[in-house]
Amino acid sequence: MDRGRRFWGWGFEDAGLTPADDAALAARIAPYLAVAETPTAPPTPEEIHLAPSRLTPPAAIAPWCDLDDVARAGHTYGKSFRDVLRALERRWERPPDVVASPPDEAGVVAVLDWAGDAGAIVIPYGGGSSVVGGVEAPTDDDRPVISLDLHRLDRVLEVDVDSRAALIQGGVFGPSLEAQLRPHGLTLRHFPQSFEVSSLGGWIATRSGGHFATLHTHIDEFVESIRAVTPVGVTESRRLPGSGAGPSPDRLLLGSEGILGVITAAWLRLQDRPTFRASAVARFSTFEGGARAARALGQCGLWPTNCRLLDAGEALVTGAGSHHLLLLGFESADHPVEHWLARAVELARDFGGVVDAHEDGALDATATWRSAFLRAPYVRDSLVRFGLINETFETAITWDRFETFVGSVRHATETALRDVGAWPGIVTCRLTHVYPDGAAPYFTVLAAGAGSGRLEQWAAVKAAAMDAIESNGGTVTHHHAVGRDHRPGYDRERSDLFAAQLRAAKGVVDPAALLNPGVLVDPRGRGRQRDERRGN
Ligand SMILES: Cc1cc2nc3c(=O)[nH]c(=O)nc-3n(C[C@H](O)[C@H](O)[C@H](O)COP(=O)(O)OP(=O)(O)OC[C@H]3O[C@@H](n4cnc5c(N)ncnc54)[C@H](O)[C@@H]3O)c2cc1C
């Protein structure tokens, strides 16, 4: 585990909330929700005592294999509410037996070879920021577990300035990636909220969503080619600006969540660093009004960089204001963008938006929301320590169903919170990404936990929310991925025939089901038997 990273929660030891910040946070929340008088203390390294590892790494790779209890605990979970709560409760349910951090691609090959010989499973681990159980070991497979931590594959290997593309190793985290591109005047400009502690390989494996609210929102758009190590060999696609030659091999690895290979490097399309920027904030009296404006903006061809609609609850909680707010932003490395912003503002006004002429107001609200956005994971961990439930979930829905959709999901979530006794609570919504044909609503839940049992309470609330999403036509995930948590919904969302195709692809590259078994498809033929019973 990197020095300074928290092994039990989000981020770095030297960042986040101080005890004074914690106290101020509790005081701010206390009038609305019952907060514990004393926050649960995070676990200390001295408290971690795991069952002994069942694996002994061979001498050739032993120098970069860690059997230490704290490293193993730190690689047991991702970073969801459920993960942080289990860590705070000192529950390390299925820790890896070994954390292997190879220095290069040959080391990745060596780990997969060893895993095959040792009958172990391998969980690729980038930043470990999964919020869907993506880096967690399966509970129904008792093979030893190797967490394959890729953080040492952290270099930009080659920059092709003419094509504005770079070959980048899969384990690099966001800040280091951008720092290496900066001297070339280039940027990937892919900024998921987890940017600080998530990796390029993880973004590709989960089809992450970045800060562009329209147009190039997913990492998919930036991937030119991918190189991956599988248990039976290395696969690499060709660099091409576009190709109509059959199904895209990159599309198979994008979103493969570690089951089809370990992404060791990829060529990414880059951009010039933007120098022109303009932003505005439109206030709306209803969320629906703001959404209609967002829809018009998604369909008019202006492609704003930022087009995030916050409901009034989200604006209030993040300190950005007290109305429903549409944050608008444009940027370019080539030309002034005020003209585009002016047209976007006109559109927002057409739908009842009130836009202050005063530019500073826009900057204030955007900056306030942005800094709250980046601090949110640390705040979440503190709120969990104070006994609250705080979690997010996201989806996407076409515009034709949008208005009833958000209301139904919000209602189902609030009802479930009441039913499990986790009330009072607040369910907020924002649109993170806007498409011509729909949008990605993102919900945040903050609620009083009802005594002990917050894990069970949240499981019931999440299940109700996912049911509402599914029955109202949304997707199980827009950008948080499937992992182990969303598997049931994903199984229903895709066709059985596609599941069989995916399983066949996995069978070719990973015949012994070493890689992340149970994520996306069932391991060792269990799913195949189930599909055969269904007649596929
Ligand atoms: C606070 C917070 C904010 C977040 N914000 C966003 C957001 O804005 N947008 C978004 O899309 N997601 C977001 N996420 C979710 C998460 O950050 C993304 O899924 C991210 O892409 C995961 O990257 P990672 O390197 O941390 O991968 P990990 O969590 O380490 O792994 C995720 C999955 O990918 C696999 N994997 C990882 N690396 C590789 C590799 N090199 N080769 C093959 N498989 C691999 C793992 O086995 C696992 O299945 C957020 C999470 C948190 C905690």
For the stretch 80-122, pLDDT in tens is 999 999 999 999 999 999 999 999 999 999 999 999 999 999 9
User: Residue 401, Cα to own-chain centre: how many angstroms?
Assistant: 25
175 C-alpha to ligand 1 centroid (Å): 15
**Mean pLDDT calculated for residue range 231-255:** 97
Task: Give the chain's domains with CATH numbers.
Answer: 19-149 (3.30.43.10), 156-272 (3.30.465.10), 276-471 (3.40.462.40), 494-534 (no CATH)
pLDDT for res 524: 54
Q: In ligand 1, which atom is closest to the CA atom of 130?
A: 29
Question: Virtual CA dihedral for 456, 461, 464, 470, nearest 10 degrees?
Answer: -110
124 C-alpha to ligand 1 centroid (Å): 11
Q: In ligand 1, which atom is closest to the CA atom of 10?
A: 53
CA distance 514 to 28: 48
Residue owning tokens 């992992």: 483
pLDDT for res 369: 67
**Mean pLDDT calculated for residue range 339-351:** 97
Which pLDDT tens digit goes with each residue over 141-192?
999 999 999 999 999 999 999 999 999 999 999 999 999 999 999 999 999 9
**Res. 531: pLDDT tops 50:** no
**Res. 44: pLDDT tops 70:** yes
**Res. 528: pLDDT tops 60:** no
**Contacts of 75 by beta carbon, 8 Å cutoff, 6+ apart:** 1, 95, 96, 99, 125, 128, 135, 147, 149
458 C-alpha to ligand 1 centroid (Å): 21
379 lines ligand 1 (CB under 6 A): no
217 lines ligand 1 (CB under 6 A): no
Residue owning tokens 């987890």: 194
Q: In ligand 1, which atom is closest to the CA atom of 173?
A: 25
519 lines ligand 1 (CB under 6 A): yes
96 lines ligand 1 (CB under 6 A): no
Question: Virtual CA dihedral for 371, 375, 380, 385, nearest 10 degrees?
Answer: -130
Q: How far is CA 405 from CA 229, 324, 436, 474, 506, in A?
A: 41, 18, 17, 8, 35
pTM: 0.96
290 lines ligand 1 (CB under 6 A): no
**Mean pLDDT calculated for residue range 461-466:** 98
Q: In ligand 1, which atom is closest to the CA atom of 211?
A: 8
**Contacts of 357 by beta carbon, 8 Å cutoff, 6+ apart:** none
| Best residue among 129, 169, 252, 259 to mutate for probing ligand 1, ranked by most atoms within 8 Å of CB | 129
461 lines ligand 1 (CB under 6 A): no
CA distance 103 to 308: 39
Note whether 61 and 406 are within 8 A (CB): no
**Contacts of 73 by beta carbon, 8 Å cutoff, 6+ apart:** 7, 8, 43, 48, 50, 87, 92, 95
Q: Using DSSP, how many helices (H) and how many strands (E) does the chain show?
A: 16, 19
Q: How far is CA 364 from CA 257, 358, 361, 369, in A?
A: 38, 11, 5, 8
Strand pairing class (324-332; 306-310)? antiparallel
Q: In ligand 1, which atom is closest to the CA atom of 197?
A: 26
392 lines ligand 1 (CB under 6 A): no
11 lines ligand 1 (CB under 6 A): no
